[in-house]
């Protein structure tokens, strides 16, 4: 608490000092003993105990034979969370410096003469101090107003008693508000923790789900490669067989074609002797070639449907149905999910 800088800024040091010595709970000057919180703010120990009890209604009081762990409350000035040990507010350190300043301040005030303007005066009777409270009109007034003025027929009470009563009521309201704020803050903290845990759990199950689907993808890719390899192997075997047949037939065709060309050329010979010489050779080759040609028709052939590859057809409808039916958990777990959804609604 920087008293020096505050006093320098204000033209009336005593008034500013009094503002620095006001408890934020009871709005009065600190009542000894004064305790200092870990955040360096000060409270009357009674006020600190009031808000501590309001925030921890089930805490076992001082002197109980039951050993309990300390509770917690929030500083009314900065909202810093103060954690208590088993002694409660009696475990907080007293601020002897503030208590000494209060004593010095009170001594200084008592040694000074009371100024006329230091006490509110009645507007109707300028020389009369406001010293009573009109309960009927709910306003402070002076004795002359009660005897001769507008509050003559009203019910009044001593100003100090009403003042103390309203301050106590306000103090109670402040304590309840502080306690309520602490409870709300606790709920907010719990909900924030719940959000964090929910995100962490969601991330974890997403990772697990992705790994399982990656495994399925790998199995499908492996099986796909295996089946494609089998089709390729069958294709190569059939093509090799067909290409071998084509080569055999092509060789037979080439031989027969050459023989035909030779025979046609012999027909073009004008001389009988030359023709007979050629025809004698042809008469020897032709029967043999004709026999070979007839054998060529008996070379290997492909059977009907040889080109068909339908036996590699797959029926994956049942597997596709199984994949579409993939879902989380069992039927009982599904019911529990639905119940959670209803709870959230």
- Helices 159-267, 45-55: inter-axial angle, 10-degree rounding: 50
Res 80 pLDDT > 80: yes
pLDDT higher than 80, residue 158: yes
- Show Cβ contacts of residue 71 under 8 Å, excluding neighbours closer than 6 positions: 52, 55, 56, 59, 84, 88
The per-residue pLDDT for 4 is 44
For the cut 70, the answer to whether the pLDDT of residue 104 exceeds it is yes
**Predicted TM-score (pTM) of this structure:** 0.46
What percentage of residues in the chain have a pLDDT greater than 90? 20
Secondary element (H or E) of residue 72: strand 72-74
- For the chain, the average pLDDT equals 80
Mark 163-184 as b/e (b = at least 16 C-beta within 10 Å): eeeeeeeebeebbeebbeebee
Segment 220-247 shows an average pLDDT of 93
* pLDDT value, residue 280: 65
Q: How far apart are CA 140 and CA 123, in angstroms?
A: 11
Residue 337 reports pLDDT greater than 60: no
Given a cut of 80, is residue 79 above it in pLDDT? yes
Predicted pLDDT at 26: 79
Whether residue 56 is predicted with pLDDT greater than 90 in this model: the reply is no
C-alpha torsion angle, residues 51, 56, 58, 59 (rounded to 10)? -90
CATH architecture for the domain at 15-58+69-109:
2-Layer Sandwich (3.30)
Tokens of 165: 């009563």
Give the residue among 338, 328, 247, 248 at the shortest CA–CA distance from 292: 248
The band of 204, judged by pLDDT with boundaries at 50, 70 and 90, is very high
Q: Which of 189-193, 280-284, 340-344 has the highest mean pLDDT?
A: 189-193
Which helix (H) or strand (E) element contains residue 341? Answer: helix 331-344
Q: What is the pLDDT of residue 91?
A: 85
pLDDT at 111: 66
Give residue 196's region: left, alpha or beta (phi > 0; psi -120 to 50).
Answer: alpha
Q: What is the per-residue pLDDT for 6?
A: 47
Inform me whether the pLDDT recorded for 8 exceeds 50. Answer: no
For 167-176, what is each residue's pLDDT tens digit? 888 988 998 9
pLDDT in tens, 17-55: 878 888 888 778 888 888 888 899 999 888 888 888 888
Burial of 145 (0-12, 13-18, 19+ CB in 10 A): buried
Binning the chain into helix, strand and coil, the percentages to the nearest 5 are: 60, 10, 30
First CA to last CA distance, the chain: 50
299 in Cβ contact with 252 (< 8 Å): yes
Q: How far apart are CA 259 and CA 280, in angstroms?
A: 14
Residue 31 in contact with residue 42, Cβ under 8 Å? no
The secondary structure of residue 29, as a DSSP letter, is B
What totals of helices (H) and strands (E) does the chain contain, helices first? 9, 7
DSSP state, residue 157: E
pLDDT greater than 50 at residue 244:
yes
Instruction: Return the top range by mean pLDDT from 7-11, 202-206, 322-326.
Output: 202-206
Say whether pLDDT at 344 is over 60.
Answer: no
Task: Please say if the pLDDT value at position 286 is more than 90.
Answer: no
């Amino acid at each position: 608490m920087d008293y020096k800088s505050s006093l320098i800024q204000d033209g009336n040091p005593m008034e500013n000092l009094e503002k620095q010595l006001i408890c934020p709970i009871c709005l009065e000057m600190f009542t000894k003993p004064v305790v200092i919180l870990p955040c360096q703010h000060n409270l009357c120990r009674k006020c600190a105990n009031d808000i501590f009890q309001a925030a921890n209604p089930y805490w076992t009081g001082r002197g109980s034979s039951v050993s309990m762990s300390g509770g917690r409350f929030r500083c009314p000035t900065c909202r810093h969370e103060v954690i208590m040990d088993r002694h409660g507010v009696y475990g907080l350190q007293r601020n002897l410096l503030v208590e000494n300043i209060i004593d010095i301040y009170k001594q200084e005030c008592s040694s000074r003469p009371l100024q006329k303007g230091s006490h509110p005066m009645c507007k109707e009777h300028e020389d009369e101090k406001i010293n009573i409270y009109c309960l009927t009109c709910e306003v402070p007034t002076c004795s002359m107003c009660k005897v001769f003025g507008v509050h003559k027929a009203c019910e009044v009470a001593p100003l100090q008693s009403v003042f103390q009563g309203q301050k106590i009521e306000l103090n109670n309201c402040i304590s309840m508000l502080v306690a309520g704020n602490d409870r709300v803050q606790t709920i907010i903290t719990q909900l924030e923790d719940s959000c964090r845990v929910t995100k962490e759990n969601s991330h974890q199950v997403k990772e697990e789900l992705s790994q399982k689907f990656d495994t399925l993808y790998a199995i499908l890719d492996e099986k796909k490669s295996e089946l494609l390899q089998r089709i390729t192997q069958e294709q190569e075997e059939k093509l090799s067989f067909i290409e071998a047949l084509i080569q055999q037939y092509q060789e037979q065709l080439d031989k027969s074609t050459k023989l035909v060309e030779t025979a046609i050329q012999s027909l073009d010979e004008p001389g009988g002797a030359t023709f007979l010489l050629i025809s004698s050779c042809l008469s020897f080759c032709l029967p043999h070639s004709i026999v070979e040609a007839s054998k060529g028709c008996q070379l290997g052939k492909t059977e009907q449907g040889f080109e068909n590859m339908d036996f590699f057809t797959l029926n994956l409808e049942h597997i596709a149905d199984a994949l579409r039916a993939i879902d989380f958990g069992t039927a009982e777990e599904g019911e529990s999910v639905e119940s959670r959804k209803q709870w959230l609604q």
